[in-house]
Amino acid sequence: MISGDSSRLEKRRALLRQRRLATSLLLVAMAVFIAMQFLPHGFAVRLVTSAAEAALVGGFADWFAITALFRRPLGLPIPHTALVRTQKDRIGRALGNFVRDRFLDPELVLQRLRAHNRALQLASWLMSESAGEFIAGRVVALLPVVLKTADDEAVLRFVAELAREGMRRLDVAPLANAAVTRLLEGGRHMEVVDAFSRLAEPALAGMQDTIIEKVGEQTGRFFPLYFDRKIGRAIVRGVRAWLDEIRTPDSAERHELDGWIRRMLEEFGSSENCARLLEEARSVIAANPALHQVLAAVWDEFKREIAADLTRAQPQSEIVSARIIHTAGELLRQNRQMQDYVNTALERLIVDYIAPWREQISDFIADVVAGWDAKTVSDLVELEVGRELQFVRINGTVIGALIGTALFLLSALLPAG
């Protein structure tokens, strides 16, 4: 049995227990009242009779009032009974108006929002483990759907246009100068040289036969092939030795190449043609159809990697998503300006997008309630509050008996007229 059905069953049992208790007290009062009629009417009998009468009046009055809320007492068509069933639509309208006026009033909403730092509360939730697991789980569940239903051409057109628009707005010259300056300051340009030299060595070995052939073309058909090979191999050895030299720290070749690169970059950066050449390169890249092909290759590879990752027991995308959520919460917690921005965004969301729909939300609530079955609504309401209402019956019976006793004693103490 699901938890909802179990909860309703327990509530119904509690309601029946309280109803039996209230009815039992009323029956006891009735039995006492009837029994007193067969006894001599002395002081004690009249006292108990008065208490029983008042208990019956209080108990029956409360029974009628509570029963009239949900159904017709004894099935009789008494006016103004079965109120929840007959007034269901009015209750729905009142509930909708209540939500409209007490929950969605802009001033009230802003007041409640500003009572606490909602962005800080959001940050605390994002930093929790449960938030990371929840959001990451939703991301992993949604990714296969996105990959399967995404229109590849539409995605590529969108990304390509976004890239082109970004490149059109990009001022390349200052970025290039900053990148070159940073590269030279840290000596990272020589790390690039080292990387290229390591890539060039195996390529050089593979091109040895081609170099020998080209040497032979230059020396002529009558020059011995033996010398062509020696010259070609000497060229390869010389280039390889130079590559070793430029990778050796503090070598003369490395210092010379370092100085040459710095001079060339500085001269290019200070030349009048630098900005124009960079601008032309930016325009060519932005307009080149190859950009679409590059993006298509990246998109296909991205989809393959994500699809393969999702087959794992613990997808990396889930781990990364949880870390991103936690990091976002940490940044939001530490950055007061970001908190102010989030709080303002929440206020604008409520005031500009939700509050204007107050009337429609009120109508929606009223329409939903109007569509409910009247008997079902009545039974559900009684199930939720009926147990507490049975205490009213119990109190009515007990208090009635006490009041009856007090009135009898009061009348007995007063002098007869």
Identify the pLDDT of residue 54: 94
Q: End of a domain among 297, 319, 341?
A: 319
Does 335 map to a domain?
A: no
Chain segment 2-33, per-residue pLDDT in tens: 455 677 888 888 889 999 999 999 999 999 99
Largest CA distance in the chain: 159
Q: What is the mean pLDDT of residues 93-113?
A: 81
- Is residue 280 located within the same domain as residue 396? no
Does 287 map to a domain?
A: yes
* Average confidence score pLDDT of the chain: 81
Q: What is the mean pLDDT of residues 133-145?
A: 88
- Is residue 305 located within the same domain as residue 234? yes
Cα–Cα distance, 209 to 215 (Å, whole number)? 10
- Is residue 390 located within the same domain as residue 306? no
Decide if pLDDT at 381 tops 90: no
Chain segment 220-258, per-residue pLDDT in tens: 665 666 666 777 778 777 877 877 887 888 888 888 887
Positive or negative, the CA dihedral 377, 378, 383, 384 is positive
Which has the minimum average pLDDT: 6-10, 18-22, 211-215, 271-275? 271-275
- Is residue 176 located within the same domain as residue 288? yes
Does 136 map to a domain?
A: no
Q: Label residue 1 by pLDDT band (50, 70, 90).
A: very low
- Is residue 156 located within the same domain as residue 259? yes
- Is residue 208 located within the same domain as residue 288? yes
Cα–Cα distance, 57 to 26 (Å, whole number)? 9
Output the six-digit token pair for 344.
């303002």
Domain that holds residue 265: 149-319
Cα–Cα distance, 299 to 317 (Å, whole number)? 16
Answer with the residue of higher pLDDT: 168 or 349: 349
Which has the minimum average pLDDT: 135-149, 155-169, 309-323? 155-169
- Is residue 78 located within the same domain as residue 171? no
Task: Name the most confidently modeled range: 64-68, 168-172, 174-178.
Answer: 64-68
Is 32:48 a contact under the CB 8 Å cutoff?
yes
- Is residue 311 located within the same domain as residue 380? no
- Is residue 155 located within the same domain as residue 285? yes
Q: End of a domain among 319, 352, 384?
A: 319
Chain segment 295-349, per-residue pLDDT in tens: 778 778 888 888 888 888 888 888 888 999 999 999 999 888 888 999 888 888 8
Identify the pLDDT of residue 413: 86
- Cα separations in angstroms, 373 against 21, 78, 88, 370, 380: 30, 21, 9, 8, 11
Does 363 map to a domain?
A: no
Does 199 map to a domain?
A: yes
- Is residue 80 located within the same domain as residue 153? no
If phi > 0 it is left, if psi is from -120 to 50 it is alpha, else beta; for residue 413 that is alpha
Dihedral over alpha carbons 267, 269, 271, 276 (to 10 degrees): 150
Query: Could you give the angle at which helices 188-206 and 172-185 cross, rounded to 10 degrees?
Result: 90
**Which amino acid is located at 129 in the chain?**
E
**Which amino acid is located at 295 in the chain?**
L
Does 280 map to a domain?
A: yes
Q: End of a domain among 294, 319, 344?
A: 319
Identify the pLDDT of residue 404: 92
Does 379 map to a domain?
A: yes
pTM for the whole structure: 0.46
Identify the pLDDT of residue 195: 80
**Which amino acid is located at 142 in the chain?**
L
Chain segment 36-49, per-residue pLDDT in tens: 999 888 889 999 99
- Is residue 181 located within the same domain as residue 314? yes
Cα–Cα distance, 218 to 226 (Å, whole number)? 14
Residue that is written with structure tokens 């809320």 in the block: 69
Total structural domains within the chain: 2
Burial of 286 (C-beta count, 10 Å sphere; 0-12/13-18/19+): middle
Q: What is the mean pLDDT of residues 282-290?
A: 65
Decide if pLDDT at 211 tops 50: yes
CB-based contacts of 161, cutoff 8 Å, min separation 6 = none
- Is residue 185 located within the same domain as residue 312? yes
Positive or negative, the CA dihedral 160, 164, 170, 172 is positive
Identify the pLDDT of residue 262: 78
Identify the pLDDT of residue 59: 92
